[in-house]
Amino acid sequence: MSCKWNDQKSIILTRVVVAAAIAGCAVMTVCGPWLTRWMVSAHALPPASGPVLLGMGYVCAVLAFVMLVSLYKFLRRIEAGAVFVPANVTALRRISWCCAGAAVVCLPAGVGIYLPFAFLGVAAAFMALIVRVLKNAFAQAVRMKDELDYTI
């Protein structure tokens, strides 16, 4: 049995991590009210910020689920050898919009409620930008592949 690392093992590991993130997101969503109460008390935030944080958490949870499921499907297609296909461009577009949505939710919360949320918002905006560039590269590759397929 060979223990060498290869692309197949890398994709499997990434899929396992994404599946674990989906499970973690589900646990955090279920525990949202408790986590919100803990955060308000542990960081001495105004009690009125609790419902706002809970709402933000649920919005971010929806975005995270959509993003993670899209990423999982993207990885499954790559594992199957379908790399430069329109479905992957759509998945990357969806992932970038989810990151941008998280940035829109977290940046104002960092200013108005708790400063570390601003850093999360900046990180999410940066990820949205990186994924968007990757999406554009995939879209161009799909167009080039389609042109090549039609010329043969």
Q: What's the whole-model pTM score? A: 0.90
Structure tokens at 37: 């109460």
Q: At what angle do helices 116-151 and 86-112 cross, to 10 degrees?
A: 170
Q: Tens-of-pLDDT digits for all 152 residues of the chain?
A: 567 889 889 999 999 999 999 999 999 999 999 999 999 999 999 999 999 999 999 999 999 999 999 999 999 999 999 999 999 999 999 999 999 999 999 999 988 888 999 999 999 999 999 999 999 999 999 999 988 887 75
The count of other CB atoms within 10 Å of the CB of residue 145 is: 13
Give pLDDT, residue 1. Answer: 53
Hey, what are 128's tokens? 């949205």
User: What is the reported pLDDT for 152?
Assistant: 59
Whether 96 and 115 have beta carbons less than 8 Å apart is answered as no
Residues 6+ apart with CB under 8 A from 116: 110
Whole-angstrom Cα distance, residue 37 to residue 53? 9
Other C-beta atoms within 10 Å of 57: how many? 20
What pLDDT is stored for residue 111 in this prediction? Answer: 86
Nearest to 73 by CA among 92, 49, 55, 59: 92
